[in-house]
């Protein structure tokens, strides 16, 4: 159903009208992210919340971008290279933009808004290949990028906007040029590699594109070029592999693995292979179960929290790819967008057991959401055409009325969810500002230049504190990940902190109660959030470390007794 050519020849007047319609559609689609981002920014000002980010991870990217700007690439701690970023390409792009503007936060907000607008334009192009009329494609694409979590993504300071743009661009290149002549079939593999450098989950794109090649050969042998198939496959593999080579080489040279260290740190004991060695077939059965469950959960979540009407209409759009009578005109039909959505979510179920779905505003799902909702716009077009067929004498007005009614119903659904989503974003930014940013500023003002800070949140604390950090989660330090897996991990961690000459520890009590209760850790400062929605704990405690002395309880602040009781409770719950 993807249009690769048209048997008819348009007149110059028709061509100009068509180009104007496509341009109008692109403008409609690109305006939606500008409007939603503007409304978020206005709501922030009304609420009196300073500009910032809704995740501490955003400040990790900021810190890595700063290392590139300052000419010490990927040295999160001065003199120590690390790949504690999930998105190397995003950090490079951010650093390049900052070299032009000289500022970090507003720069990435503007860049991500523009990237989301670009996603809208790409979706228009993709919908045109599914024979959706330009204005319907523009309205539909605008509805997609106005859906949550795209406004959040635009102002998150995260790599999600770039990952989504590259993913949709790769899918568009594949369905447009995969069977073309010349160099164009290589554009898709290169974009897939760039998408994988932005989000590692996108490594699944290239294998799925080759699966789509096989499916198209089987389903539509008359429309697929077969000559020199092996040679063209080799070229696609080379294009993907050579583009990925610097990324793999960087990861391997720093941490000895092909993917960022963040995978080991975040997935931990759930990593693929660890449970299979110990549990065998039972672990394989669980991963197979999650492979089937996660795509279904993702569909349900998108319908409930993002865009219910387009998700329902997607069923009609997918049906059109299997029923020739529903297709509009000649052309090659492709289910590659749907293949990526289901393949990507199923792979997440296998690799991570779906533990990150749909957490933190769907940041691990977002790049695949448009690929499901695009079929909702195809379904909208089919329903509207059915309405036009009912009254053939007024087919065009009936079609336009049906599209308008469906679009208005969709906008009404989005508007119902919108206030809660805006409030969540504002509160998340407020939480990060009041805890991680504030503690980072406290570190800068209250610790000597030679201080070494251990913390479980290394983003804003490193950026604003301007002190070397030791990451107690292990995102930037594989040795921490190794020690946390030891039977006596508390002793192993304390010894590592001592070796690194840590002078201050900034920790969540619920994450590290064993460290906080150590007699060599002296409480000096605390932040407590009364409206926490995003931080790992509503409390963060600042401890000064004296490796040669003992803590004197009478020197402790008034709140320390409460915090000790809190930590002992967490110790019992965590069964240390």
pLDDT classification of 551: cutoffs 50, 70, 90: low
Are the beta carbons of 250 and 83 closer than 8 angstroms? yes
User: 35 or 276: whose pLDDT is higher?
Assistant: 35
pLDDT in tens, 436-455: 999 999 999 999 998 999 99
Strands of the 539-545 sheet, one edge to the other: 469-471, 453-455, 504-507, 539-545, 521-528
Residue-level pLDDT at 11: 58
User: 432 or 338: whose pLDDT is higher?
Assistant: 432
User: 78 or 326: whose pLDDT is higher?
Assistant: 78
* Least confident piece of the model among 52-56, 131-135, 219-223: 219-223
Residue-level pLDDT at 356: 67
pLDDT in tens, 180-238: 888 999 999 999 999 999 999 999 999 999 998 888 777 666 666 666 778 889 999 99
Measured torsion, CA atoms of residues 140, 146, 148, 149, in degrees rounded to the nearest 10: 100
List beta partners, residue 542: 506, 525
Please state, in angstroms and rounded to a whole number, the distance separating the CA atoms of residues 419 and 251.
Answer: 41
pLDDT in tens, 288-299: 888 899 999 999
pLDDT in tens, 556-572: 888 999 999 999 998 88
Please count the CA atoms within 13 angstroms of the CA of 565 that sit on its side-chain side: 5
DSSP 487-541: TTHHHHHHHHHHHTT--EEEE-TTT-HHHHTSTTEEEEEEEE-SS-SSSS-SEEE
pLDDT in tens, 322-381: 776 665 544 346 789 999 999 999 988 888 777 666 666 788 889 999 999 999 999 999
For the chain, the average pLDDT equals 89
Residue-level pLDDT at 284: 81
This prediction's pTM = 0.92
The full set of domain ranges for the chain reads 18-48+83-390, 427-574
Please state, in angstroms and rounded to a whole number, the distance separating the CA atoms of residues 377 and 540.
Answer: 46
pLDDT classification of 76: cutoffs 50, 70, 90: very high
Are the beta carbons of 503 and 447 closer than 8 angstroms? yes
Residue-level pLDDT at 98: 97
pLDDT in tens, 86-97: 899 999 999 999
Alpha-helical regions (H) of 323-458: 336-352, 359-362, 369-390, 395-432, 438-446
Maximum pairwise Cα distance, the chain: 91
Please state, in angstroms and rounded to a whole number, the distance separating the CA atoms of residues 518 and 497.
Answer: 12
Instruction: Tell me: pLDDT of 270 over 90.
Output: no
User: 262 or 191: whose pLDDT is higher?
Assistant: 191
> Which residues touch 41 (CB under 8 Å, ≥6 apart)?
51, 155
> Mean of the pLDDT values across residues 280-291?
81
pLDDT classification of 99: cutoffs 50, 70, 90: very high
* Least confident piece of the model among 42-46, 140-144, 480-484: 480-484
User: 286 or 497: whose pLDDT is higher?
Assistant: 497
Q: Which of 512, 431, 494, 504 is nearest to 465 (CA)?
A: 504
List beta partners, residue 539: 528
């Amino acid at each position: 159903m993807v249009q690769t050519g048209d048997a008819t020849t348009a007149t110059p007047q028709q061509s100009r009208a068509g180009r104007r319609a496509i341009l109008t559609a692109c403008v409609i689609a690109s305006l939606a992210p500008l409007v939603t981002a503007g409304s978020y920014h206005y709501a922030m000002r009304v609420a009196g919340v300073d500009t910032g980010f809704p995740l501490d991870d955003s400040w990790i990217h900021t810190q890595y971008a700063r290392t590139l700007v300052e000419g010490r690439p990927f040295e999160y701690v001065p003199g120590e290279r690390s790949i504690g970023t999930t998105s190397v390409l995003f950090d490079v792009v951010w650093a390049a933009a900052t070299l032009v503007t000289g500022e970090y936060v507003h720069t990435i907000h503007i860049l991500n808004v523009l990237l989301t607008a670009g996603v809208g334009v790409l979706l228009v192009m993709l919908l045109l290949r599914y024979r959706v009329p330009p204005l319907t494609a523009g309205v539909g694409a605008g509805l997609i990028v106005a859906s949550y979590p795209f406004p959040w993504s635009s102002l998150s300071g995260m790599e999600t906007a770039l990952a989504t743009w590259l993913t949709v661009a790769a899918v568009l290149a594949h369905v447009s040029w995969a069977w073309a002549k010349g160099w164009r079939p290589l554009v898709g593999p290169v974009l897939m590699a760039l998408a994988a450098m932005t989000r590692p989950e996108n490594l699944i794109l290239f294998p799925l594109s080759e699966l789509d090649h096989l499916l198209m050969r089987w389903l539509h042998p008359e429309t697929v070029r077969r000559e020199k198939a092996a040679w063209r496959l080799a070229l696609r593999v080379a294009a993907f592999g050579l583009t990925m080579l610097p990324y793999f080489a960087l990861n391997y040279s720093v941490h000895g693995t092909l993917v960022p260290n963040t995978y080991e740190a975040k997935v931990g004991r759930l990593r693929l292979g660890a449970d299979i060695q110990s549990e065998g077939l039972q672990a394989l059965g669980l991963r197979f179960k999650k492979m089937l469950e996660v795509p279904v959960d993702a569909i349900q979540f998108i319908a409930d929290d993002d865009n219910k009407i387009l998700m329902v209409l997607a069923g009609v759009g997918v049906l059109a790819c299997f029923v020739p009578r529903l297709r509009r005109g000649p052309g090659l039909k492709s289910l590659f967008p749907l293949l990526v959505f289901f393949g990507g979510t199923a792979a997440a179920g296998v690799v991570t057991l779906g533990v990150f779905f749909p957490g933190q505003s769907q940041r691990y799902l977002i790049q695949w959401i448009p690929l499901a909702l695009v079929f909702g716009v195809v379904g909208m077009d089919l329903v509207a055409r059915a309405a036009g067929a009912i009254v053939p004498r007024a087919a065009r007005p009936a079609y336009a009325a049906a599209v308008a009614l469906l679009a208005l119903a969709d906008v009404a659904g989005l508007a119902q969810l919108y206030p809660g989503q805006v409030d969540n974003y504002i509160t998340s930014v407020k939480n990060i500002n009041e805890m991680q940013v504030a503690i980072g500023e406290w570190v800068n003002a209250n610790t000597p230049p030679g201080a070494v800070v251990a913390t479980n949140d290394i983003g804003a604390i490193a950026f604003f504190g301007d002190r070397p950090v030791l990451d107690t989660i292990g995102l930037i330090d594989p040795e921490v990940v190794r020690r946390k897996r030891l039977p006596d991990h508390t002793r192993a961690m304390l010894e590592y902190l001592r070796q690194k000459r840590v002078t201050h520890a900034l920790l969540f009590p619920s994450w590290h109660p064993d460290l906080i209760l150590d007699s060599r850790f002296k409480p000096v400062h605390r932040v407590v959030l009364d409206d926490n929605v995003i931080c790992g704990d509503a409390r963060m405690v600042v401890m000064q470390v004296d490796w040669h002395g003992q803590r004197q309880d009478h020197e402790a602040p008034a709140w320390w007794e409460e915090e000790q009781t809190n930590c002992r409770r967490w110790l019992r719950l965590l069964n240390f």
